[in-house]
């Protein structure tokens, strides 16, 4: 189905402005996406008319805010095809979701000598919490290497798995390379060894249909701000039977049933993991973001972005001196590259002067940059409101960069 791009773009106020005297071309969507008016309006409506704390009050506004917040949880359940809302835990984002799991399992599962497997192409937020878990528990971190193509070395992964493997975690799409990892196979192999597995879906949920029941990972997480929603809110999906066995994370209000000085009993799922007043406006904004994605159609988004990526790759390949970093067969959403002899930072600065926003640097994945022996890359990442005409402007910008520094 052809998307009504004019209609889609009209919903994003931020796109309709000039930057440095040129129409804004926003290709930094892997860092954070822009927000449609329905998300901005839902948040404004909450603060204008509905602001109240949730789950505690008998009064009208509290009940209204509670209903809206819980409606967001149901929207996420629907988006992920999760079994139950009890499995949907609101967090501040992907980073907090991963830290939650790492922290709780450090206190309840990991023992000295256990092994935790991550991959060589993780975001720092899926590396550092596991290094901390290993430091605290005596577990050992193992890393699945990446091939020159940007794909994970699956033979090496199979060789790393053994009876000491307690936990595996990988991203579904690498934010630094765009590689789509074969997570179905990675999950099945982890389970065959009796290990738990977490999928960092930060770069997947905004771009493709995710079905957590079909995937069968034990944990799946993402951030709302990369999927047209607000910052400061994200989701951890966990299997109910596993979440029930885990100790809580933050102690405080909301996550308790009864508190006495002799001891405390914890609340039921999902509230056991949601200590303190949550980001209520953020949750309400997420509900609108899910509605936006459903209205456009998640499959339509995926297909259209694949078209944009193919077009950008075709155009970039025609430019002499373009060096792709990561050329996996299965890629999504973004292209990471360098221009021979030109520092990515210099290129990014020139593009900015032309109104083009791309990301330059290590993309919070320094080990990936070390592996490919580059100081950083230029990364253009796409969302459903981007157009082929914008890619043409970007390609003209790359030619300008080459003229200046080439
Ligand atoms: C693959 C991946 N994982 C984790 C994160 C961290 O997300 P957040 O900063 O929203 O917690 C990002 C953000 O860029 C990401 O791309």
Tens digit of pLDDT at every position of the chain (406 positions):
689 999 999 999 999 999 999 999 999 999 999 999 999 999 999 999 999 999 988 999 999 999 999 999 999 999 999 999 999 999 999 999 999 999 999 999 999 999 999 999 999 999 999 999 999 999 999 999 999 999 999 999 999 999 999 999 999 999 999 999 999 999 999 999 999 999 999 999 999 999 999 999 999 999 999 999 999 999 999 999 999 999 999 999 999 999 999 999 999 999 999 999 999 999 999 999 999 999 999 999 999 999 999 999 999 999 999 999 999 999 998 999 999 999 999 999 999 999 999 999 999 999 999 999 999 999 999 999 999 999 999 999 999 999 999 7
Full residue range of the structural domain in which residue 269 is found:
41-294
Residue 122 lies in a domain: yes
Within this chain, do residues 55 and 11 fall inside the same structural domain, yes or no? no
Same domain, 259 and 379: no
Identify the pLDDT of residue 2.
80
Name the residue at shortest CA distance from atom 16 of ligand 1.
Answer: 175
Q: How far is the CA of 95 from the centre of ligand 1 (A)?
A: 6
Instruction: Indicate whether residue 94 lines ligand 1 (CB < 6 A).
Output: yes
Overall residue count recorded for the chain in this entry: 406
The finding on whether 202 has its CB within 6 A of some atom of ligand 1 is yes
Alpha-helical runs (H) found in 262-343 = 280-296, 298-317
CA angle 280–284–287, rounded 5-degree value: 145
Task: Classify the C-alpha dihedral 81-85-87-92 as positive or negative.
Answer: positive
Are residues 322 and 316 in contact, defined by beta-carbon separation less than 8 angstroms?
A: yes
What average pLDDT does the structure give for the chain? 97
Q: Is position 241 within any domain?
A: yes
pTM: 0.98
Q: Please state, in angstroms and as integers, the Cα–Cα distance from residue 317 to each residue in 175, 303, 327, 335, following that order.
A: 21, 21, 12, 11
Q: Quick check: CB of 29 below 6 Å from ligand 1?
A: no
Residue 87 Cβ contacting ligand 1 at under 6 Å = no
The Å distance, Cα 61 to ligand 1 centre, comes to 34
Give the pLDDT score at 57: 85
CA triplet 162, 211, 29: central angle to 5 degrees?
95
Residues 286 and 302 placed together within one structural domain of the fold: no
According to DSSP, residue 118 is labeled: E
d(Cα 57, Cα 71) in Å, to the nearest integer? Answer: 17
- Is 355 found in the same domain as 290? no
Query: Are residue 211 and residue 91 in the same domain, yes or no?
Result: yes
> Given the CA of residue 175, which atom of ligand 1 is nearest to it?
16
CATH value at residue 348: 3.90.1150.10
pLDDT at 406: 73
Choosing from 181, 198, 200, 202 the residue with most ligand 1 atoms within 8 A of its CB, the one to mutate for a pocket test is 202
> Does residue 105 fall inside a structural domain?
yes
List the CATH number of the domain containing 190: 3.40.640.10
Ligand 1 pocket test target in 123, 126, 198, 226 with most atoms within 8 Å of CB: 123
287 found inside a domain: yes
Number of domains forming the structure of the chain: 2
Domain boundary at 294, 312, 336, which? 294
- At residue 88's C-alpha, the angle toward residues 171 and 94, to 5°, is 35
Q: Are residues 167 and 287 in the same domain?
A: yes
- What is residue 176's predicted lDDT score, i.e. its pLDDT? 97
* Closest approach atom of ligand 1 to CA 173: 1
Percent of the chain with pLDDT over 70: 100
The last residue of a domain, from among 270, 294, 318: 294
Whether 289 and 218 map to the same domain: the answer is yes
In the reported structure, the alpha carbon of residue 94 is separated from the centroid of ligand 1 by a whole-number distance in angstroms of: 6
Query: 381 CB under 6 A from ligand 1?
Result: no
**What is the structure's pLDDT at 167?**
99
Separation of CA 178 and ligand 1 centre (Å): 13
**Is 161 touching ligand 1 by the criterion CB < 6 Å?**
no
**For helices 280-296 and 298-317, what crossing angle results, to 10°?**
80
* CB of 93 shorter than 6 A to ligand 1: yes
Indicate if ligand 1 lies below 6 Å from the C-beta of 175: yes
Distance, in Å, from the CA atom of 355 to the CA atom of 348, rounded to the nearest integer, reads 10
The pLDDT value given to residue 254: 92
- 129 CA distance to ligand 1 middle (Å): 13
Question: What DSSP element (H or E) covers 92?
Answer: none
Q: Is residue 35 part of a domain?
A: no
Same structural domain, 20 and 140: no
To test the pocket of ligand 1, the residue of 97, 223, 379 to mutate (highest count of ligand atoms within 8 Å of its CB) is 223
Instruction: Give the side-chain half-sphere CA count within 13 A for 55.
Output: 18
The two structure tokens encoding residue 70: 């819980």
pLDDT value at position 1? 65
Establish whether residue 32 lines the binding site of ligand 1, counting it when its CB lies within 6 angstroms of any ligand atom.
no
Q: Which of 220, 206, 234 is nearest to 33 (CA)?
A: 206
Q: Report the separation in Å between the CA atom of 288 and the middle of ligand 1, taken as the mean of its atom positions.
A: 21
Residue nearest to atom 12 of ligand 1 (CA): 202
Whether 36 maps to a domain, the answer reads no
Among residues 234, 267, 294, which one ends one of the domains?
Answer: 294
132 and 262 both lie in a single domain: yes
Same domain, 52 and 18: no
Ligand 1 atom at minimal distance to the Cα of residue 200: 3
Distance 305 CA to ligand 1 centre (A): 19
In a domain, 264, yes or no: yes
Note whether 106 and 136 are same-domain residues.
yes
Catalytic residues: 364
Residues 305 and 288 in one domain: no
- Classify residue 237 as exposed, middle or buried by CB count within 10 Å of its CB (0-12, 13-18, 19+): buried
């Amino acid at each position: 189905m052809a998307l009504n791009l004019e209609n889609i773009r009209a919903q994003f106020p931020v796109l309709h402005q000039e930057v440095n005297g040129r129409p804004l071309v926003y290709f930094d969507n892997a860092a954070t996406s822009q927000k449609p008016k329905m998300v901005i309006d839902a948040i404004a409506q909450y603060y204008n008319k509905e602001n109240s704390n949730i789950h505690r009050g008998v009064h009208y506004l509290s009940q209204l805010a509670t209903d809206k917040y819980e409606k967001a949880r149901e929207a996420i359940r629907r988006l992920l095809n999760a079994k139950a809302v009890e499995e949907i835990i609101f967090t501040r984002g992907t980073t907090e979701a991963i830290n939650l799991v790492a922290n709780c399992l450090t206190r309840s599962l990991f023992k000295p000598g256990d092994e935790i497997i991550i991959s060589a192409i993780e975001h720092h937020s899926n590396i550092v919490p596991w290094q901390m878990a290993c430091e605290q528990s005596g577990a050992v971190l193992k890393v699945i290497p990446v091939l020159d193509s940007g794909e994970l070395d699956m033979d090496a992964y199979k060789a790393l798995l053994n009876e000491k493997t307690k936990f595996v975690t990988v991203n579904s799409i690498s934010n630094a390379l765009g590689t789509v990892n074969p997570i179905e196979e990675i999950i099945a192999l982890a389970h065959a060894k009796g290990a738990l597995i977490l999928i960092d879906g930060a770069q997947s949920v905004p771009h493709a249909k995710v079905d957590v029941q079909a995937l069968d990972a034990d944990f799946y997480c993402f951030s709302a701000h990369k999927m047209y929603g607000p910052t400061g809110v994200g989701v951890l999906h966990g299997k109910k039977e596993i979440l029930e066995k885990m100790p809580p994370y933050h102690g405080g209000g909301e996550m308790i049933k009864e508190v006495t000085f002799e001891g405390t009993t914890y609340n039921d799922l999902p509230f056991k993991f949601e200590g303190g007043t949550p980001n209520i406006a953020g949750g309400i904004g997420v509900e609108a973001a899910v509605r936006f994605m459903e209205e456009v159609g998640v499959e339509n988004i995926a297909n259209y972005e694949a078209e944009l990526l193919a077009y950008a790759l075709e155009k970039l390949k025609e430019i002499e001196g373009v060096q792709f970093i990561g050329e996996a067969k299965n890629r999504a959403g973004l292209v990471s590259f360098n221009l021979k002899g030109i520092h990515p930072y210099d290129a990014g600065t020139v593009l900015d002067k032309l109104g083009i926003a791309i990301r330059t640097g290590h993309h919070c994945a320094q080990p990936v940059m070390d592996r490919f022996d580059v100081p950083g890359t230029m990364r253009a990442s796409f969302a459903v409101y981007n157009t082929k005409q914008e890619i043409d402007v970007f390609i003209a910008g790359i030619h300008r960069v080459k003229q200046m520094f080439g």
